[in-house]
Amino acid sequence: MKTDLNVKKLLCPMPVIRLGELIEKIAVGDTIEMLASDPGVLHDIPAWCKVHGHKVLNIEEKTDEIVLIVEKIG
């Protein structure tokens, strides 16, 4: 199951905090499609996932947003 998370216009550390809050509410194997505008997420989200044992499946940089797909692992 895919859950959407819009963190556009939020600056670090809020995108990471919102991801952490939401990932607790989804099942293992589910994904979160995260829409962000802060370029800091390009480093922060993969680093957070590595520390917490989750997986970034895809990162796509578009003109006005960054789309990240994160899978909840274990």
pLDDT given for residue 73 in this prediction: 98
Of the listed 12, 26, 56, 59, which one is catalytic? 12
pLDDT tens string 27-63:
999 999 999 999 999 999 999 999 999 999 999 999 9
Q: Give the whole-number percent of the chain exceeding pLDDT 70.
A: 100
pTM for this model (two decimals): 0.95
pLDDT given for residue 53 in this prediction: 98
DSSP string, 16-67: HHHHHHHHTTS-TT-EEEEEE--TTHHHHHHHHHHHHT-EEEEEEE-SS-EE
Ordered by where they begin, the domains of the chain are: 2-71 (3.30.110.40)
Q: For the chain, what is the mean pLDDT?
A: 97
Measured between alpha carbons, how far is 41 from 15 in angstroms, rounded to an integer? 7
- Of the pLDDT bands very low, low, confident and very high (cuts 50, 70, 90), residue 74 is confident
Does the annotation count 12 as an active-site position? yes
